């Protein structure tokens, strides 16, 4: 059923180019969110948001990329259907959860919880990144959905951690 959904996504040269751009923008390990987090650190007004984005990224890397992917070890759609024409090299890593989606939604959540307007833009980028994982035939829909939920949770946890740090500093 999930493969049927992936096969039903319309693909054109224009969309191929667009989603290749989105995939490259995100980076092979979601580095876009590290860059955004680091940029936010430079400004006093956004410093705690930058820290939250980076905490979320690390949490997704440790718990999603390192632990969950290896524990669940689900094959990717491109590993199940070897005849599907790929736009990128077939990864050898596992599929569940989509850590690209998790990094994107973790970062977007951290930004949104502190800066609503910028967060809406970040969620738009995150949604494009998540959909690109389906378009590129790299993840099943449930991988992406799990990544979105997991990343959102990590973003919330990161913001809570940062707020507690801020409260402790203000008390001291």
Give the structural domain span for 68.
20-83+92-171
Q: Is 100 a catalytic residue?
A: yes
pLDDT at 29: 85
Catalytic: which of 69, 76, 133, 139?
A: 139
pLDDT in tens, the chain (172 residues): 999 999 999 999 999 999 999 999 988 888 999 999 999 999 999 999 999 999 999 999 999 999 999 999 999 999 999 999 999 999 989 999 999 999 999 999 999 999 999 999 999 999 999 999 999 999 999 999 999 999 999 999 999 999 998 888 888 7
| List 100, 111, 137, 151, catalytic entry | 100
For helices 141-171 and 99-114, angle between their N-to-C axes, nearest 10 degrees:
40
Given a contact cutoff of 8 angstroms between Cβ atoms, the answer to whether 137 and 95 are in contact is no
Does 164 map to a domain? yes
Look at residue 137 in the predicted model and tell me its pLDDT: 97
Q: Residue 126, Cα to own-chain centre: how many angstroms? A: 7
Residue 96 placed within a domain: yes
Domain count, the chain: 1
DSSP state of 89: P
Nearest to 151 by CA among 83, 116, 102, 85: 102
Is 115 marked active-site?
A: no
> What pLDDT is attached to residue 171?
82
φ, ψ dihedrals at 120, nearest 5° = -65, -45
């Amino acid at each position: 059923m999930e493969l049927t959904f992936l096969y039903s996504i319309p693909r054109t040269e224009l969309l191929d180019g667009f989603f290749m751009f989105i995939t490259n923008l995100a980076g092979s390990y979601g580095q876009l969110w590290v860059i955004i987090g680091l940029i936010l650190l430079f400004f006093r007004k956004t410093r705690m948001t930058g820290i939250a984005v980076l905490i979320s990224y690390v949490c997704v890397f440790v718990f999603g990329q390192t632990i969950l992917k290896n524990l669940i070890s689900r094959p990717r759609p491109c590993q199940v259907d070897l005849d599907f024409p790929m736009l990128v090299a077939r990864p050898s890593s596992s599929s569940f959860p989509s850590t690209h989606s998790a990094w994107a939604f973790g970062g977007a959540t951290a930004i949104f919880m502190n800066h609503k307007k910028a967060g809406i833009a970040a969620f738009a980028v995150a949604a494009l990144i998540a959909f690109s994982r389906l378009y590129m035939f790299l993840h099943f829909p449930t991988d992406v959905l799990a990544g979105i939920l997991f990343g959102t949770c990590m973003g919330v946890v990161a913001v809570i951690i940062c707020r507690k740090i801020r409260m402790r500093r203000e008390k001291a």
